[in-house]
Amino acid sequence: MSESESYYQLARRRGVTRRDFLKFCALTGAMLGLDATEFPKIVQALESKPRLPVIYLNLQECTCCTESLLRSAHPLISDLIFNMISLDYMEPLQAAAGKQAEEVRLKTMKEYPGAYLLIVEGSATLGDGGVYCTIGGKSSTELLKEVADGAAAVIAYGSCATNACVQGAYPNPTQAVPIRKVVKNKPVIDVPGCPPIAEVITGTIVHYLTYGKIPELTNLGRPKAFYQHRVHDNCVRRAFFDAGQFVETFDDAGAKQGWCLYKIGCKGPTTYNACAITEWNDGVSYPIKSGHPCIGCSENNYFDNTPFYTRLASIPNNAIGKDADTIGAGILGLTGIAVAAHAGMTAVVKNHEKNRKESNHDKNRN
């Protein structure tokens, strides 16, 4: 694509009808609570303004999501940011700094109310009035609210934004919380993973861009296109699981034949992600294929559902502190002891009763 298109042209080129486009604009307006008379403004904005304005906020994070975004092979990140969207604010990439950077953000918020897409990487932090993450001297959580207010939709990108990831793990010293806990008045699309696969996030953005609406979500609020299947159900090692062939320790004979990593802690069976299908870095591999158990990085609380190298059932339940088998077998053992004790006690009591009765009989006879 050599010349820049308007958002409307792009949508048309990608097969969206004008009717659908107008519907999208109306929906966007409705989401914003705008009066119907305002709709034409949105239509006009998206028709005449070239590319979808995007504000990308980095809150409490490690920037792995940004890095992952850069790894996108289809579309290429350069195609995405120069031809499809207008990435107006994104600290790790944008040329402007300091006040000039803030100006760009404010300009986009002012010029495209209800029309820009907000992508958030990182968790919000509620601890101590927001001092654990400030940007431009402002609490990042306040900044998030401010920018989200005028957004058409919010993509919570990465596990920090969807489940507070590592900083949200026990004891969560900074009170890190997912974006959903702070942004309540906008549709939030959760795209979890630490980080998510590059093509998953760019796929989600382009979906929004192309169809003009947020993608269909799973009941956990994630795009069905990427998160409706378990890693386990599409795993390249699944045949070994079904066969009952398991790696017992790393690099053992089973490992050398690519057997299933279930017994050394693989979280594939409880993890919903596209790893096994889309795979990482343009389809090269994914953790299980490369020999390491899945750590479940797209799931809530995955850092507290540890240790990682322990088969699923043996992991201590983080609410109880012990694993299911220890608790279950422990209580079963106690029950056994109780049964034996009760049986013994019964024998003693009954024997005693019998003796008493017999002595009563004797007395009666006498």
Partner 1 sequence: MGILRRQVYVWQFPIRLFHWVNAVAITVLFLTGMYIGYPIFVSPGEAVQNFFMGNVRYWHGVFAYAFTTNMLFRLYWYWAGNEYSKFRFWKKDFWQDVVATFKYYTFLAPEHTVKVGHNALAQLMYLIFIWISSLFMIFTGFAMRGGSNPNGILQTLFGWVVVNFRGEYQVRNLHHLVAWGYAIFLLSHLYMVIRQDLLDDDGTISSMVNGYKFMICKDALEEETQERLLKK
Partner 2 sequence: MTRIVIDPITRIEGHLRIEAVVEGNRIIDAVSAGTVFRGIEKIVENRDPRDVWAFVQRICGVCTHIHALASIRAVEDALDIRIPKNANYIRNIMTATQFVQDHVIHFYHLHGFDWIDVVSALKADPVQTSALARSISNWPNSSDGYFRDVQTKVKTLVESGQLGIFANAYWGHPAYRLPPEANLMGVAHYIEALSWQKEVAKIHTIFGGKNPHPNYLVGGMASTLNMDDNSVINMERLNLVKTKIDEAQVFVDQVLIPDIFAIASFYKQDLYGGGGGNYLAYGGIPIGDIREPESFLFPSGVVLDRDLSKVYDIDLKDPKQIQEFVSHSWYRYDDPKAGLHPWQGKTEASYDGPRPPYTNVDEKKGYSWIKAPRWQGHAMEVGPLARFVIAYARGNKEIKGLVDDALQRLDLPVTALFSTLGRTLARALESKYLVNQLAGFYSDLVANIKAGDSQTFNGEKWEPEKWPAQAQGVGFAEAPRGALGHWVKINNGKVSDYQAVVPTTWNASPRDDSGQKGPYESSLLDTPIVNEDQPLEVLRTIHSFDPCLACATHLLTPTGEEILKVRIL
Nearest Cα neighbor of 176 from 193, 164, 161 is: 164
Does 14 bind partner 1 (CB under 8 A)? Our answer is: no
The helix or strand, by DSSP H or E, that contains position 188, with its residue range, turns out to be strand 188-191
Residue 236 engages partner 1 in binding (rule: CB under 8 A): no
Residue 321 makes contact with partner 1 by CB under 8 A: no
Structure tokens at 90: 């994104």
Q: Determine which residue in the list 203, 230, 278, 286 makes contact with partner 1, applying CB under 8 A.
A: 230
Stated as kind and residue range, the H or E segment containing 138 is strand 138-139
218 binds partner 1 (CB under 8 A): yes
Q: What is the strand order of the sheet 116-121 is part of?
A: 85-90, 52-58, 116-121, 151-157, 188-191
Contact criterion met (CB below 8 Å) for 87 and 54: yes
| In the complex, least distance from residue 301 CB atom to partner 1, rounded to whole angstroms | 7
CB 25 to partner 2: min, Å: 19
Contacts of 167 (CB under 8 A, 6+ apart): 60, 123, 125, 160, 173, 174, 176
281 binds, among partner 2, partner 1, none (CB under 5 to 8 A by kind): partner 2
Question: b/e per residue, 146-168, with b = 16+ CB within 10 A?
Answer: ebbebbbbbbbbbbbbbbbbbbb
Smaller CB separation from partner 1, 53 or 268: 268
- Considering only residues 171 to 210 of the shown chain, the ones binding partner 2 according to CB under 8 A are 171-174, 176, 194-195, 197-198
Residues in contact with partner 2, shown as a per-residue x/- string from 56 to 75 under the rule CB under 8 A:
--x-xxxxxxxxx-xxxx--
Interface pick for partner 2 out of 28, 162, 163, 167 (rule CB under 8 A): 167
Site for partner 2 in 20-59 (CB under 8 A): 49-51, 53, 58
262 contact, one of partner 1, partner 2, none, CB 5-8 Å limit per kind: partner 1
CB atoms within 10 A of CB 349: 10
Contact 247/264 with Cβ under 8 angstroms?
A: yes
Of residues 262-291, those binding partner 2 (CB under 8 A) = 275, 280-282, 284-291
Q: Which DSSP string corresponds to 13-26?
A: HTT--HHHHHHHHH
Q: Are 177 and 168 in contact (CB under 8 A)?
A: yes
Given a contact cutoff of 8 angstroms between Cβ atoms, the answer to whether 176 and 123 are in contact is yes
**Closest distance between partner 2 and the C-beta of residue 320, in Å?**
16
CB nearer to partner 1: give 96 or 312: 312
* Least distance between partner 2 and beta carbon 166 (Å): 4
Cα gap 45→22, rounded to integer Å? 12
Report the partner that residue 19 touches, choosing among partner 2, partner 1, none (CB closer than 5 to 8 A by kind). none
Chain residues in the site for partner 1 (CB under 8 A): 218-220, 224, 228-230, 233, 239-246, 254, 262-263, 267, 269-272, 296, 299-302, 305, 311-315, 317, 320, 324-325, 327-329, 331-332, 335-336, 339, 342-343, 345-346, 349-350, 353
